[in-house]
Amino acid sequence: MKLYNKADDYIDGLLESYASLTNPKSFFLNAGAGAGKTRSLVNLLVNISKNNGNYLKKTNKKIAVITYTKVASEEIISRTPENILFDISTIHSYVWNLIKGYNRNIKEALLLFCDKEIDTYISKEKLTKSQEAKLNSLYLKKSELEGKQIFNYSPESSINEKGSLTHSEVLKLFCFLLDSNELFRKLVCYKYPIILIDECQDTNKEVLEAFLKLNRNNKICLGLFGDIMQRVYLDGKADLIQSLNGLEMPEKKVNWRSYGRIVKFTNNLRTNIDNLEQEVCTEDRVNKGLLRICLVNHESPRNKVEEDILIKIRTHVVNENIDSEYSPYKLVLEHRLAAERNNFLKLFDAFKSSKDTDRAMDGDSREHTFFKQIVIPLYLAWKANDDFNLHRILKINSNRFEELNQKNTDAYRILGNIGNDFKKLLETFNDDISVGNVCEAILKSNLFDVPAKLKDDFQEETGWKFASEVDFRELVSFYKYNDGVSDIITQQGSKGLEYNHVQVIIDDYSAKGNLFSYEKLFGVKKKSAKDIDNEAQGKETTLHKTNRLFYVACSRAIKSLVLIIYTANQQRVKEFFINNEFASEEEILIL
Ligand SMILES: Nc1ncnc2c1ncn2[C@@H]1O[C@H](COP(=O)(O)OP(=O)(O)OP(=O)(O)O)[C@@H](O)[C@H]1O
C-alpha cells in the first residue's frame, strides 16, 4: 500500500459540520488545482443526504448547488445519489427557476432599470449620435415593456429569442429581487437553507455579492468552493477574499491530480501571488512527472515544430517508463489556434466575419443543430458506406414520411420517391464538396427542413455566407472540436478538466486577442504604460490575468507537462524560467 498524504482527511468532516441545518456556518473552501474541491462538494452532498435527507423531503426544502457550466452540473448530478434533494444547475437556470412567474415584479424592475438608464442620458448636456440612438431605443423598450405581461427566458440557449429576457437581465433581476423584496428573500432562505457554489472565483460578481449579503443577514449556510488563482473570466469577483468576513476558511493542502514535478512547477507559479503551496498526494508520486519547456522561434512553421516535439517527447515518455503511450492534449489560447491545428481555419475566418463571432462559434444555433443532427451524420455514414445508418438518419429526420400517415396514400409510390431523392442527394456528395453545395443538394432533395439562414440567401451577418464557400470537411472538423472530441481545447475551456499528458501551446503571434500576453509575462515584451499605471494603483494587469490562465492550463496535467513557447527571444524566456527557479537547464529545449 502506497503511503498517502493524510493532511486533508479532516476537511470533509469539517464541511459536514458547517452544513448543519440548526447551526449553519458559511465557508469558503479555498484550494489549489487538483485539491479535490469538486470531490469534497460531492462528498458533502452525500453527507447531507445521509444526515438530513428525511427532514429536507418532509419540509420540501432543497440544497442549491450552483456550477459554472452545464457540463459541470451534469458531472455532479451523475456523481450524487438522491438527486431529488438537490437543485444542481448553472447560475442562470437556478436564478430563473426562482424568479419565473414573478411577472409583475419583473416588469416593475425592468421599467425601473430602463428609467434609470434614461435619466443618465437625459442628465448629460449633449449627447453623441450613438447616445441619442441608445436613448431612443430605451424609450422604445420602455413602451414595449409597458404592454408586456409575461416574461420568458431560456437559460440554455445562446440565441436570444425576440422579446425574451437576456442572460444579464435575469441575473440583475434576481439580485434586485433578493435585495428589495423581503418575501422573495424569505422564500429563497426557506427553500434553500444551504447554497453551495462551485468555481466561485468565476461566479458573476453581482450575484455573488447578493448571496454574501443574504448570508450576512439570514441564517443560511453559504458554501463557496474555489481557487482565486483560477479566475479566468472577467465577470468574476476580483476582490473575493476581502469580502469574506465572518466566513470559515478551511484550506486543502494536497494535490490529488498531478505528479511531483508538476506540483512543484505549479506551486512556483503562485509564489509572489498567494504563496499557496501544495503537497503531493502519495509518496510514490513525489519524484515522478515530466516537465519540458520547448522554446521555439516565433517564425517557425507550427505543424512541423509540433510534430517533431511530439516524436521527441513520445520517445522519452515511453523509454523512461513515464507511460506506455503518449497522446497529449494541446491547450491553446484561442479558437483560432485550434482551428489552425484542426483544419478548420477558413471556416473559423468565415465565422469571424459574422456580426456575433461567439454565437457563430458556439455551435448552439438552429443552423448548427441542423448540421450536427442531420448533415454531418449523413456525410459520415456516406463516407463509411454505412447503408444501415444512412437509412436510419433519413427515417428519423425526414419530414417526407409524414405523407404515409394520410388516408388512402400510395405507400409504394411515396417510398419510391423518397428513395430516388435520397439516392440523388448521395450522388452529389464527394470528398471536395463545399458547405454551400451540400446545403443546395439537401434543399433540392426536399427531404429535410433546412433552416432559413442556410437557404439560397445565406445571410451575411451570421457568417454562413462565407462559410458556404468552405470545404465541407472543415465543418466536420469544426464539430469534432466543438463537441470536445478533438485533442485540442482552449486554455480557458480546460478549467476543471485533467489529462495524463498536456502540451500548453503559447503563441501570442497567432493569437489575435489582447487580453493576455505571455511575452510580457516572460519579460520579452515591455509592460505597457497602462500596465504600469494599473500596477501602481494596485489594479489588475495583463500579467496577472496571463499568469492565472497559465496556472489553470499547466495544472491540468497528471503525468507530463510540455510547454511549447513561440517567442521572439528564446534566451530571455529561458532566463525567465531559470532565474525564477521554475525549471532546470535540462528541462529547457531551444528549438
Ligand atoms: N481524497 C482523494 N483521494 C483520491 N483521489 C482524489 C481525492 N481528492 C481528489 N481526488 C482526485 O483528484 C482529481 C482532482 O479532483 P477535483 O477535480 O475534485 O479537484 P479540484 O480541486 O476541483 O480541481 P481544479 O480546481 O483543478 O478543477 C480528480 O481526479 C479526483 O478524483
* Eight-state DSSP code of residue 451: P
Best residue among 5, 9, 29, 39 to mutate for probing ligand 1's pocket (most ligand atoms within 8 Å of CB) is 39
Q: Which of 281, 275, 226, 274 is nearest to 258 (CA)?
A: 281
Please report the atom of ligand 1 found closest to the CA of residue 40. 18
Query: If you take atom 16 of ligand 1, which residue's CA is the nearest one?
Result: 36
Give the residue carrying C-alpha cell 520579452: 524
Residues 329-378 pLDDT 10s = 999 998 889 998 989 999 988 888 776 666 667 766 778 888 988 999 99
Query: H helices of 353-488, where?
Result: 357-362, 366-370, 376-383, 387-397, 411-428, 435-445, 464-467, 472-482
Amino acid occupying residue 15: L
Q: Is the CB of 51 under 6 A from ligand 1?
A: no
Distance from Cα 490 to the centre of ligand 1, integer Å:
21
What mean pLDDT is predicted for residues 474-494? 89
3-class DSSP state for residue 531?
helix
What mean pLDDT is predicted for residues 520-540? 90
Q: Compare 246 and 361 and report the one with higher pLDDT.
A: 246
- What percentage of the chain exceeds 90 in pLDDT? 60
Band of pLDDT at residue 1, cut at 50, 70 and 90: very low
Give the pLDDT confidence score for residue 358 in this predicted structure: 67
Cα 37 from Cα 17, distance rounded (Å): 17
Q: Is the CB of 361 under 6 A from ligand 1?
A: no
Q: Is the CB of 519 under 6 A from ligand 1?
A: no
- Left (φ > 0), alpha (ψ -120 to 50) or beta: where does 95 sit? alpha
Q: Is the CB of 553 under 6 A from ligand 1?
A: no
Query: If you take atom 5 of ligand 1, which residue's CA is the nearest one?
Result: 256
Average pLDDT in the chain: 90
3-class DSSP state for residue 564?
strand
Band of pLDDT at residue 406, cut at 50, 70 and 90: confident
What mean pLDDT is predicted for residues 532-536? 89
3-state SS string over 328-389?
CEEEECCHHHHHHHCCCHHHHHHHHCCCCHHHHHHCCCHHHHHHHHHHHHHHHHHHCCCHHH
Binding site for ATP, residues? 31-38
Query: With 90 as the cut, is the pLDDT of residue 182 above it?
Result: yes
Evaluate whether 76 touches 41 at the Cβ level (below 8 Å): yes
Give the pLDDT confidence score for residue 454 in this predicted structure: 76
Residues 65-87 pLDDT 10s = 999 888 889 889 988 877 789 99
Band of pLDDT at residue 133, cut at 50, 70 and 90: confident
Q: Is the CB of 35 under 6 A from ligand 1?
A: yes
Residues 558-571 pLDDT 10s = 999 999 999 999 99
Evaluate whether 378 touches 427 at the Cβ level (below 8 Å): no
Distance from Cα 131 to the centre of ligand 1, integer Å:
49
**In this predicted structure, which of 155-159, 298-302, 409-413, 507-511 has the lowest mean pLDDT?**
155-159
Query: With 60 as the cut, is the pLDDT of residue 158 above it?
Result: no
Give the pLDDT confidence score for residue 154 in this predicted structure: 76
Distance from Cα 516 to the centre of ligand 1, integer Å:
28
Please report the atom of ligand 1 found closest to the CA of residue 495. 27
3-class DSSP state for residue 52?
helix
Query: With 60 as the cut, is the pLDDT of residue 308 above it?
Result: yes
What mean pLDDT is predicted for residues 235-262? 92
Residues 201-211 pLDDT 10s = 999 999 999 99
Q: Is the CB of 256 under 6 A from ligand 1?
A: yes
Residues 411-468 pLDDT 10s = 888 888 889 999 998 899 888 899 888 888 898 898 998 887 777 555 555 667 778 8
Q: Is the CB of 12 under 6 A from ligand 1?
A: no
Q: Is the CB of 496 under 6 A from ligand 1?
A: yes
Q: Compare 431 and 498 and report the one with higher pLDDT.
A: 498
Cα 268 from Cα 541, distance rounded (Å): 20
Evaluate whether 78 touches 38 at the Cβ level (below 8 Å): no
Give the pLDDT confidence score for residue 360 in this predicted structure: 67
3-state SS string over 214-259?
HHHHCCCEEEEEECHHHCCCCCCCCCCHHHCCCCECCEECEECCCC
Q: Is the CB of 43 under 6 A from ligand 1?
A: no
